[in-house]
Amino acid sequence: MEHTPPPGTHNLPLGTVIHDKWIVLEFIAKGGMGEVYRAHQANLKRDVAIKVISQEWLHSFQGDDEERETALKRFRREVEAMASIRHPYVVQVYDHGIYTPPDGSDALEFIAMEFVPGATLRDTMPESGFDPEDDLAARWIRRTFLPLLEGVEAMHAGGIVHRDLKPENILMDGTKPKISDFGLARSGKWQGLTHTMDMLGTLQYMSPEHMADFRQTTHQSDVYALGKILFEAMAGPDALRPLTFKQARLSSPESPFFIALDRVIASTTAEAPEERPASVAHMSRQLTEALPLAGAPSTANAKKTRHPLYAWAILFLLSALCLILLWHFSGPDLDDQPDGIPAEMAGPSGEPPAGQPLLAENNTTMFRVTVPPSQNGGKTIAPFYMSETQVTNLQFISFLNQQPRARVTVTNNRVLGDGILWMVINQGSGHTPPGGVNHQAPIAYENGQFVLISGDSAACPVVNVSGHAARAYATFYDKTLPTRAQWDAAASGAPSNPEEPAPERFPFPFPVLVFEPNTFGLRGIDTSVMTEWILSERDPSETGPPLARPGMYPEATLQDTFPNVGFRLVTPPPQRQDQG
């Protein structure tokens, strides 16, 4: 006999103990198919979210066993989809099981997952939209929307299409977005679900092809939803409502920044999938390229203020000339300056504020490295920016999928770029790192796209890439590999946490954020479990391999691949672009 809770009551009373592990503390929300509770896991002293299928909802099928089974399969797929992706911007699953209440009520299928208190992405989006506030919009894109794209990119790399991206399904852990609610997710590894349940989604963010045939949605359907979310954040929800299944455009963008955003919105919400960016990585790159335009004057404003600007410019030049003369005749002698921070450390006007990272293409965070000669053996090295971490599998896959088909070819497990070995995927033999373990690049090539074999590896450093591939990646993003002098300077920063366990204790491969940053903000720069490709100094006296730790592979050349050799990027300090 089936027992269901009376209407208006909850399936899990407060105080319920599930599997002698989780104590239900609070009812959070009820959706169409389930309920969510906050519970406490006593043995690990942490709060978790418990999601259960509502028995009331299951019984609403009124004897249609086939539809009921479809509903259960969809719930289990949500578990599988979320569990397959381990990424900082995706809600993590801890457990899945069945709970049988002691009073004989029907068994409840549940998910135990990361508890994210607080708001959703909706709460970060102003009711009237960000337009025309360049600075506020740019800050939101940089701090919130680009990380969201990174999480979606990790899903796609793992073969998962979300199919219901909307502000309410993006939880906010402080300023960090967390993608949730994978109930409609789809993977090429699963058989399709049929019946009326397939007509699901949220119309305002649903692509035309999603509406036409839910089962044929692809990652470009998620790109469309992201474009609609971006449009809503800029223009407000009232502007979004009449645009169901239609391309979105900002009504009258004025600043160069919003004109660039309008182009991104138009391309990502194109009604034909083939007219949209090929991937979320392309969308991310378009936004990153638009960010420097924030704050640039519009053409109309420039014309109105031309004469006042000239007057201010002349006044500034006269003031600067007076200061230079004053400094020349009364300033201290440079030769009398003590060792310390050189003038270059102040940074040119085009750099981020002191202590702030530089956000580069492909969501790469870079930190400034400056070492005075007194701390570098008397040698002078120009300031530079270096990637916080090694390049990850997810970032490298994004790079590969943006290359023309004619440039990259795959033969068995060898990836060639421009006819040169770039990477070995699914490697079953070859070089073995210290410790005797052979680590493979967790990347496969399927249906013309590079994908992750396991979402767990998205944030791990990419390895088994040749020096040629590392250089090609750097060139593609207008960066370079570090020279030995730059790498040594970056590695000279003392760890910010001297009590950190020895790197050898971390499992390899490991997420790139596992290490504490050094004083420059760089992570894993001097770990002994792997090394990195660098540029040769082209010094005739240098005979070692182009590796930061040459002793690991003394005979290494740029065409080799190794299971514990990755890379990171450097770039000179940016200069402010002339506004003309």
SS3 292: helix
pLDDT score for 167? 93
Structure confidence at residue 162 as a pLDDT band (50, 70, 90): confident
Domain covering 17-114, topology? Phosphorylase Kinase; domain 1 (3.30.200)
pTM for the complete prediction? 0.56
pLDDT score, position 245: 85
Whose CA is closest to 25, among 54, 3, 47, 57?
A: 47
The pLDDT mean for the chain works out to 77
User: Which of 65-74, 110-119, 364-373, 553-562 is least confident?
Assistant: 65-74
Give 60-66 contacts, CB < 8 A, sequence gap 24+: 66/195
Q: Is the pLDDT of residue 566 over 50?
A: yes
Q: Which two tokens stand for residue 389?
A: 């971490």
Confidence grade of residue 421 (pLDDT, cut at 50, 70, 90): very high
Q: Is the pLDDT of residue 521 over 90?
A: no
Residue (of 304, 217, 290, 292) closest to 260 by Cα position: 290
* Mean pLDDT (whole number) for 274-300: 87
When pLDDT is cut at 50, 70 and 90, the band that residue 203 belongs to is confident
Residue 580 has pLDDT above 50, yes or no: no
Q: Tens digit of pLDDT for each residue in 365-381? A: 888 998 887 666 667 78
Q: Of the segments 25-34, 132-141, 149-158, 422-431, which one has the largest average pLDDT value?
A: 132-141
- Quote the pLDDT of residue 323: 47
What's the confidence (pLDDT) of residue 437?
Answer: 40
Q: 36 — alpha (psi -120 to 50), left (phi > 0) or beta? A: beta
Comparing C-alpha atoms, which of 141, 152, 142, 145 is closest to residue 81?
Answer: 152
Report which secondary-structure segment, H or E, holds 39: strand 34-41
- How high is the pLDDT of residue 499? 47
- The pLDDT of 185-191, averaged and rounded, is 41
Task: For residue 151, name the pLDDT band (cuts at 50, 70, 90).
Answer: very high
Q: What is the mean pLDDT of residues 142-159?
A: 91
* Cα dihedral across residues 502, 505, 508, 510: positive or negative: negative
Residue 557 confidence (pLDDT) above 80: yes
Those residues with Cβ within 8 angstroms of residue 19's Cβ, 6 or more apart along the chain or in another chain? 97, 99
Same fold, 17-114 and 121-187+202-293: no
Instruction: Give me the mean pLDDT over the 557-571 stretch.
Output: 91
pLDDT band at 80 (very low <50, low <70, confident <90, very high): confident
Which amino acid is located at 465 in the chain? V
The pLDDT, as a whole number, for residue 554 is: 85
- The residue among 137, 145, 132 whose CA lies nearest residue 229 is 145
In this predicted structure, what is the pLDDT of residue 320? 47
Q: Which long-range contacts (CB under 8 A, 24 or more apart) does 424-428 make?
A: 424/464, 424/561, 425/464, 426/453, 427/464, 427/561, 427/563
pLDDT at residue 242 in the model: 87
Residue 98 has pLDDT above 70, yes or no: yes
Q: Which residues pair with 157 in a beta bridge?
A: none
Percent of the chain, pLDDT > 70? 70
First-to-last CA distance in the chain?
Answer: 79
Half-sphere exposure of residue 292: CA atoms within 13 angstroms, side-chain side:
16
Instruction: Report the pLDDT value the prediction gives residue 376, as an integer from 0 to 100.
Output: 64
What is the share, in percent, of the chain residues with pLDDT greater than 90?
Answer: 29
* Domain locations in the chain as residue ranges: 17-114, 121-187+202-293, 361-571
CA atoms within 13 A on the CB side of 164: 16
pLDDT at 305 (0 to 100): 40
Say what the pLDDT of residue 106 is.
79
pLDDT at 85 over 50: yes
pLDDT value at residue 553 = 87
Average pLDDT over residues 544-569: 86
Asked whether the predicted pLDDT for residue 312 surpasses 70, the reply is no
303 or 121, higher pLDDT: 121
Asked whether the beta carbons of 94 and 114 are under 8 A apart, the reply is yes
433 pLDDT more than 50: no
The CATH class, in words, for 121-187+202-293 is: mainly alpha
Of 37, 158, 171, nearest to 86 by C-alpha is 158
Q: Is the pLDDT of residue 535 over 90?
A: no
Structure tokens at 368: 């400034």
Q: Which of 195-209, 288-302, 306-320, 406-420 has the lowest mean pLDDT?
A: 306-320
Confidence label for 409 from pLDDT (cuts 50, 70 and 90): very high
Instruction: Note the pLDDT tens digit of each residue in 210-260.
Output: 877 766 788 899 999 999 999 999 999 999 988 888 999 999 999 999 999
